Amino acid sequence: MNKSKKTVKKAPSPTVNMVEDTSTSPVLTDANTCGPTNITYIKETTETEASHPLEGEDEASPRAILLAIRKMDFSMNARFNSLEASLSVVQLTLTANTSCIADLEEASTDYERRISHLEQLCSGLSLENTSLKAKVTDLEARSRRQNIKITGFPENIEKGNLTRFVSELLPSLLGGSNFPQGVKVDRAHRIGPIGNKPRVMIARIHHDSVKTEILQLSRGQSPLSFAGGRISIFPDFPVEVSTQRKQFDSVREKLRAKGIKYGLLYPANLILSHEKTKKIFSSPQEAESYIDSLSP
């Protein structure tokens, strides 16, 4: 059984004709409907036109989208121009800073070299100064080794002649029998500012043996007195030597407690005698270690 075939006729395709419009923007029109199609050719707009879309125009229309894109393009261009200008300034500043840093690095290298040289020079000068200071202290101390310091005598008791006063006073104070030849004093004077307390007397004894005898007698007969006042006699050492000798004070106390004979040699050396053995120490620590090792 044969089925009859139905023939379907296709509708003729509408013909699209280009119609010239008197407006500035050409449009495509449908020949059947004579209306505009969805494709519209828009002329290039200026920045002013891009920022002012048509009133009542749909935001989703191609023209509105193109206007928005152009507006964004203008904004981005302006921002990029501003950014390029800022980057140009930054580049110039960076170049200047790089040059300054290079100069500073070069100067720093030169300063380090000079400082290193100065440090070496100062180190050498410091060693030389220490050596010279020790020599000066030694010379000063040796020039004062025959001096004695006397404290406690009122001012003006010497009646204008301190040298003769000390020469006559020492035998009467320490015992004339101890000085059969008398005490020869080269010179004597007071030191320090005049105030409420009597100033210290400095007397240079002509003979070193007599000076040593005076110091020994003054220690043995301590305390000495004159006209109701206490008199003290000390060796005349520089401050540096006195400080060095004072460091042995704790050691000397231990030696006295143990009954060990000792003495201080110039400038600051401790000598002690124990069980027929003599020891000399220049350091308080060494002397203290030795004393602690002795049997009680």
Give the C-alpha distances (Å, rounded to integers) separating 214 from 34, 218, 220, 242, 259: 146, 6, 10, 19, 24
In three-state secondary structure terms, 183 is coil
Q: What is the mean pLDDT of each run of 10 residues along the chain (296 residues)?
A: 42 40 40 40 43 61 83 87 89 92 93 94 95 91 91 88 92 90 92 87 93 91 86 90 90 88 87 86 89 77
Buried-exposed string 245-254: b where 16+ CB fall within 10 A, e elsewhere: beebeebbee
pLDDT of residue 226: 86
Give the pLDDT confidence score for residue 38 in this predicted structure: 40
Give me the pLDDT at residue 29, please. Answer: 40
Residues 6+ apart with CB under 8 A from 158: 164, 165, 166
The structural domains of the chain, with segments of one domain joined by +, span 46-138, 145-236, 238-296
Assign domain 238-296 to its CATH superfamily. Answer: L1 transposable element, C-terminal domain (3.30.250.20)
d(CA 183, CA 148): 13
Distance of alpha carbon 251 from alpha carbon 243, whole angstroms: 14
pLDDT at position 109, please?
Answer: 92
The secondary structure element, H or E, covering residue 30 is strand 27-30
Backbone angles phi, psi at 248, to 5 degrees: -90, 5
Residue 201, SS3 per DSSP: strand
Which residue do the tokens 């109701």 mark? 228
The pLDDT of residue 53 is 52
Model pLDDT, residue 127 = 95
* Position 221, amino acid: Q
> Looking at domain 145-236, which of 3.30.70.1820, 3.30.160.340, 3.10.690.10, 3.40.50.2300 is its CATH number?
3.30.70.1820
Q: Give the global pTM.
A: 0.54
Q: Give the number of C-alpha atoms closer than 13 A to the C-alpha of residue 66, restricted to the C-beta side.
A: 12
Helix (H, G, I), strand (E, B) or coil at 71: helix
